[in-house]
Amino acid sequence: MRSLLTVGFLAALAALLVACGDDAPPASVFVGSVTGGDVLAASIWEDGRAIVYTCGVGDSLDTDTAWLAGTPSDGSVELSDGMFSVVATRELDAVRGTFSSQTGTGALDLVAVTSPEDAGFFVATEGACRTAAVAFRRGGVMLVQGARFCDAAGPFSQVTPVLPPELLGDRLLVRFDDGGELRELALERVRGI
């Protein structure tokens, strides 16, 4: 099941990156966190599809990083894949619900990206490898968290911004350990599916 979701996500991701243009579509990208931990999350809702990305940090990188995709029904989704599940509802400017993993269940609390300088979801694909990062301000501080992986089951590499991401643009330059050497990669802003 996970490999089918991976193939589906890669196809959706290709469409996402092609769809990035100068004109921002209505808010369909949401970012935030999962309560009870250090998990940041992003979600995209558009055209009868929903994608949810979660990213842990430190010890929770491998246990709480997930990509889930599915079809909403009446503004809600129930997504699951192996040890991960999301039950969420899209409101006008927020996505709320729960995220469950092997480390437990927490409340999913995401808000629409309305100010590109303050928040965003950034992605890059290279063959079978995906790199993504979530960025948003909380209490005046810019939080950025992301992961790179070439297999849906991990292992994951934590990504960190190369420059202070105080003013987000359409690209976010990140650094990660690529098998023993540091590598940099530009991630593109996701605006919708």
In this prediction the pTM is 0.82
What range does the domain containing 30 cover?
Answer: 2-189
Pairing assessment for the beta strands 84-90 and 94-101 based on DSSP bridges: antiparallel
Q: What are the CA-CA distances from residue 180 to residues 5, 65, 157, 176, 177 (Å)?
A: 29, 21, 11, 10, 6
- Rounded to whole angstroms, the Cα distance separating 20 from 1 reads 29
Model pLDDT, residue 176: 93
- For the ranges 6-20, 21-35, 84-98, the lowest mean pLDDT is seen at 6-20
> What's the structural domain count of the chain?
1
How many CB atoms neighbour CB 70 within 10 A? 17
Tell me the pLDDT tens digit for each residue of 130-177.
Answer: 999 999 988 888 889 999 988 766 678 999 899 877 667 889 999 998
